[in-house]
Amino acid sequence: MNYKWLIRRLASVIIAIFVTIVISWALLEFSPYSPANYIMQFINPQDFAQKPELYASLIDYLNTLRPHGNPLINAVNYIWNTLHGNLGFSIISNVPVAELIAVALPWTLFIVVTSILISFFLGIRLGQKLGYLRGTKTDSVATVSLSILRSVPIYIYAVLLIYILAFIYHIFPTGGAYSIHVTPGFNLPFIASVLYHAFLPILTLTIVNLVGWILQMRANTIYVLGEDFVNFAEISGVKKDIIEKKYIGKNAILPLYTSLIISIGFSFSGSVFVEQTFSYPGVGNLLINSITSNDYPTEMGVFIIIIVAVIVGNLIADLTYSFLDPRAKVGEE
């Protein structure tokens, strides 16, 4: 391994995280919207004779929870606290943001990682088979259909699935992470309830990711089929199954490895719509609720988690790719 390259790569990761933290802080810190506007809608104006004064006092109270004063000092304090794991307190619930994220993150990781792994391994098999059918009518119809399905927004799939399978046929629940009638813990009823409630969110994310993996694997398979070493193996009399698995499949899947690792980070953004639709208590749902209520600290905390997930995923892909493909040496210019 080239250690100079590794140092430069780690330095770029640190700089990227630092810059994104600063940008996220600036966008939210200087937002014209106030969380006081959200809180005021729950107060009955008839109960207060002096609403403007009440509003002003509410803003003063919120300013004690949210940093104010010199923007430069605020930025330095926020970055320092963030690097030490202190993401502040939620303006709405007055609970540490790190605690809110720690509760929501496992639920999001469960549906995101599960859906990506299922869609990836199923997608590479279907994509490889489709690549062998290149130029046929089946390939043309399948490719056009998959391209159309890929253009459909993720929330459309979520709405259709919950409407058909939950509201019409009542096969699956309409929301939640588990039934209120089971006791949380490592027991069979709770695990079964979690899987039952997570089925539709996982299915939604799987459908969206599956289409992309099939199309990418199809394109890679067609490219590898035209390589000289494949033609030489066929002429040499190598068995078709060996050519399909070791020569074509292995080489066609390599370019998808980086996408697999990075997609875990990017799937956090897609889970926002899914979790909101299914009322799933993950990071995406937490982000939507914090945006709706203008809860600045929680917004910034979730943004940072998503950003770090993508950046770290990219770093892991770079460091581990050479283990799958010995031809690619880590740190080579």
The answer regarding whether domain 101-324 maps to CATH 3.90.800.10 reads: no
Split at pLDDT 50, 70, 90, the class of 9 is confident
φ/ψ of 246, rounded to 5, equals -85, -35
Q: Is the pLDDT of residue 61 over 60?
A: no
pTM: 0.84
Distance CA(47)–CA(18), nearest Å, equals 46
In single-letter form, the type of residue at position 143 comes to: T
Q: Which residue has the higher pLDDT, 28 or 153?
A: 153
Distances (CA, A) of 117 to 51, 86, 96, 124: 54, 32, 32, 11
175-181-187-190 Cα dihedral, nearest 10 degrees:
-10
Q: Which residue has the higher pLDDT, 51 or 214?
A: 214
pLDDT at position 20 is 82
pLDDT at position 123 is 95
Range scoring the smallest mean pLDDT among 32-46, 95-109, 267-281: 32-46
pLDDT at position 95 is 87
Most confident of 14-18, 29-33, 255-259: 14-18
- Cα 204 from chain centroid? 13
Please provide the size of the chain in residues.
Answer: 333
Which residues have CB under 8 Å from 118's CB, separation 6+? 202, 206, 210
Residue with tokens 């609970």: 95
Residue with tokens 């799939």: 157
pLDDT at position 11 is 92
pLDDT at position 54 is 62
Mean pLDDT, range 266-275, rounded to an integer: 80
Q: Is the pLDDT of residue 64 over 60?
A: no
Distances (CA, A) of 284 to 106, 279, 294, 301, 306: 12, 10, 15, 12, 10
Reference 78, options 70, 69, 87; nearest CA is 87
Count of CA atoms in the C-beta half-sphere (13 A) of 105: 15
Q: Is the pLDDT of residue 162 over 90?
A: yes
End-to-end Cα separation, the chain, in angstroms: 12
Q: What angle do CA 181, 182, 185 make, to 5 degrees?
A: 155
> pLDDT by residue (tens digit) across 299-317?
888 888 888 888 888 888 7
> pLDDT by residue (tens digit) across 90-120?
877 888 999 999 999 999 999 999 999 999 9
208-214-217-218 Cα dihedral, nearest 10 degrees:
-140
Q: Which residue has the higher pLDDT, 124 or 82?
A: 124
Q: Is the pLDDT of residue 258 over 90?
A: no
The domain limits of the chain are 16-83, 101-324
pLDDT at position 67 is 53
